[in-house]
Amino acid sequence: MMPSYETEYQRSLSDPAGFWAEKADILTWHTPPQKTFSASFHKEDFHIKWYEGGTLNLSENCLDRHLETRSHETALIFEPDVDGPAKTYTFQEMHKEVCQIANHLRGLGIKKGDRVTLYMPMIPEAIFSMLACARIGAIHAVVFGGFSAASLADRLDDCESALLITADQGQRGGKIVPLKENVDKALSLSQKKTVQNVLVFQHTGATVSMEEGRDLYAHALPANADCPAVEMGSEDPLFILYTSGSTGKPKGVLHTTGGYGVYTTHTFKDIFDYKPGERYWCTADVGWITGHSYLVYGPLLNGATLVVHEGVPNYPDAGRIWQIVEKHKVNILYTAPTAIRSLMAKGDAHVTAHDRSSLRILGTVGEPINPTAWTWYKDVVGENRCPVVDTWWQTETGGILISPLPQDPTRQKAGSVTKPFYGIQPALLDEQGQEIEGAGEGALVIKHSWPGQMRTVYGDPDRFFDTYFTTYPGYYFSGDRAMRDEAGDYWIRGRMDDVVNISGHRLGTAEVESALNTHNCISETAVVGIDDPLTSQALMAFVTLKKGKTWDAEAFPNELNHILRDVIGPIAKVKIFVPAGDLPKTRSGKIIRRILRKLSEGQGDQLGDLSTLANPQCVEDIQKTLKVGKSV
């Protein structure tokens, strides 16, 4: 019999080295690890290392080792944007595709440690390309296909990519995404010009411009499916993934091989209770961490059968997601609260029109899920027979840290992520940085390293330490606030820093402000997140104008959102603009966001002492603007 969660959890804390050494056996290693871990979150000896001495290759673990027993079983089912024939790949076929791409990369001179950026639609080749990089030890950096050319250029420059992999176009909800066109723009914007070649997959078949000598169609290259996997050290980098923080430009979160592999394999196996032969569908895009850990690595390391969908869950109508569940007999579904809320709003008939009897487990991730949406997901979608796993984690954590285990009925609690996974030691800290015992609410930190933890910010190790380990010395600070109830279950409250979560997409207010400030009439902006019933949060921007300029309520909001689209991408869109004469500042000229946040929440009566402000009058003015609804 399986030991209970409590027994296993206690063992993982009392003997982490023994526990995680045993867990490493789930992967196939060339050389077994010598030392399970060595880590310190303190400045003097700051380091994080897992499974040192071990060597392995994750592409081999995802594919080759399944060939012996299940080479002819389905590994991937691809469902196009609009309902049509699905395309399937067996493990054998997928292995061949991956090896061919890996050989293309080698042919283009890519070697272990080189950075390869992917700017891809949600097609099988996106997954194959990631695994092809892993196979030859190249570090993949996937950039979400919804990001703009300027964002892509920034990321190419930051990691000095040698190669860019893309497709002619993508398709999303009936719309064309001009990927290759954006790539051309990005390469002309790139400052460092490190990209030597662009490997292009033909997807829609549209004619796109191809620069001779630089751009190559994948299908035109010689096919060679014999590609041995490179033996990687456990701490060799696997990928970089950019994510927004409270300051500056997005940072390149770096994950390594051994610990990430072990952690994603176990969390996937236990939290989704995966059983061989089951079909698993994660609706996240490969451009996000969910797409890395629980679309590609976690499932494939377990030999799962993946459903991959290029489109969006509600196109052409709100029944599409359930139609796909029925069509492919999906057993496990992993999606986001935003999707659940928007589908719920369209009514139950879209759901009940489709047979969902294959469904066994329902997952959610990305934002707090409100109890109403949770209950709808469980009762209507899952016919009250499928456990819901509300999983809390972050790009930085590599894998799920707090989540129910589906077998445990006491953990079906609407709105709570319940309890930590094995080996994870969360704590809540009060304003003095003291640990709160028992029930309470505070800053959510993690006390001990875990195998899937990020290792550094690419090219900026100081930023890694400063961002996550200085607010509360000795702890990893998540940036989230959480509550723990009497039963010891966790409830995520949201971000405490200047990060805004819109439909599960992370944006730093600093990035948004610096883009808005490029408008020639704008002097200064301050952006805050406001609650939104559908998208969890939305952006509110307080803007001041240059001398002599007046606010144009017709033109400015469009112009400003247009800039955001160009600089960041369509996910960055301000919902409410608030023109202001001045922004509340300290005497040294620093904008006090806390006040703006309170004003945006309609809590102007709870501002506290304003006497230290350089310009207290502006607060009243902003309040008036907000009250008379002059904001647009």
Site string for ligand WT7, 43-62 (x = CB under 6 A): --------------------
Nearest to ligand WT7 of 67, 496 (CB atom): 496
Burial (CB count <10 Å: 0-12, 13-18, 19+), residue 204: middle
Strands 361-365 and 215-217: unpaired
290 binds ligand WT7 (CB under 6 A): yes
Name which position in 172, 463, 481, 495 contacts ligand WT7 (CB under 6 A): 495
Q: How many residues bind ligand WT7 (CB under 6 A)?
A: 23
Neighbours of 568 (CB within 10 A): 23
Residues 457-486 that bind ligand WT7 (CB under 6 A): 478-480
Site string for ligand WT7, 230-249 (x = CB under 6 A): -------------x------
8 Å CB contact between 70 and 303? yes
Q: Which part of the chain contacts ligand WT7 (CB under 6 A), choosing from 19-27, 168-176, 498-506, 571-579? A: 498-506
Name which position in 103, 161, 256, 391 contacts ligand WT7 (CB under 6 A): 391
User: Any long-range contacts for 420-423 (C-beta under 8 Å, 24+ apart)?
Assistant: 420/9, 420/490, 421/267, 421/270, 421/271, 422/8, 422/9, 422/12, 422/19, 422/266, 422/270, 423/12, 423/13, 423/16, 423/19, 423/20, 423/448, 423/450, 423/451
User: What end-to-end distance do the CA atoms of the chain give, in Å?
Assistant: 61
569 binds ligand WT7 (CB under 6 A): no
269 binds ligand WT7 (CB under 6 A): no
| E strand or H helix at 51 | strand 47-52
Distance separating alpha carbons of residues 469 and 475, to the nearest angstrom: 6
Nearest to ligand WT7 of 390, 489 (CB atom): 390
Distance separating alpha carbons of residues 511 and 499, to the nearest angstrom: 10
Nearest to ligand WT7 of 140, 505 (CB atom): 505
Q: Which part of the chain contacts ligand WT7 (CB under 6 A), choosing from 78-86, 467-475, 492-500, 557-565? A: 492-500
Nearest to ligand WT7 of 48, 105 (CB atom): 48
8 Å CB contact between 418 and 402? yes
Q: Which part of the chain contacts ligand WT7 (CB under 6 A), choosing from 28-36, 270-278, 494-502, 540-548? A: 494-502
Nearest to ligand WT7 of 61, 416 (CB atom): 416
616, 622, 628, 632 alpha-carbon torsion, rounded to 10°? 180
Nearest to ligand WT7 of 375, 394 (CB atom): 394
Nearest to ligand WT7 of 351, 401 (CB atom): 401
Min CB(403)–ligand WT7 separation in Å: 8
Radius of gyration of the chain measured on its C-alpha atoms:
24
Name which position in 394, 425, 471, 544 contacts ligand WT7 (CB under 6 A): 394
Name which position in 76, 289, 361, 454 contacts ligand WT7 (CB under 6 A): 289
Name which position in 118, 282, 492, 626 contacts ligand WT7 (CB under 6 A): 492
Residues 359-388 that bind ligand WT7 (CB under 6 A): 365-368
The pair of three-digit structure tokens given for residue 479, joined into one six-digit string: 């940036």
Q: Quote the DSSP letter at residue 448.
A: S
Min CB(516)–ligand WT7 separation in Å: 22
| E strand or H helix at 391 | strand 388-391
Min CB(366)–ligand WT7 separation in Å: 4
What is the identity of the amino acid at 536? S
The pair of three-digit structure tokens given for residue 228, joined into one six-digit string: 């041995």
Nearest to ligand WT7 of 257, 397 (CB atom): 397
Q: Which residue is nearest to ligand WT7 (CB)?
A: 395
Min CB(458)–ligand WT7 separation in Å: 16
Nearest to ligand WT7 of 259, 479 (CB atom): 479
The pair of three-digit structure tokens given for residue 252, joined into one six-digit string: 């390149």
Nearest to ligand WT7 of 424, 626 (CB atom): 424
What is the identity of the amino acid at 522? I
Min CB(221)–ligand WT7 separation in Å: 34
How much of the chain is in helix, strand and coil states, percent to nearest 5? 35, 25, 40
Name which position in 90, 171, 257, 395 contacts ligand WT7 (CB under 6 A): 395
Distance separating alpha carbons of residues 268 and 256, to the nearest angstrom: 18
Min CB(151)–ligand WT7 separation in Å: 15
SS3 of 498-535: CEEEECCEEEEHHHHHHHHCCCCCEEEEEEEEEEECCC
Q: Can you give the binding site for ligand WT7, defined by CB under 6 A? A: 243, 289-290, 365-368, 390-395, 417, 478-480, 492, 494-495, 501, 504, 506
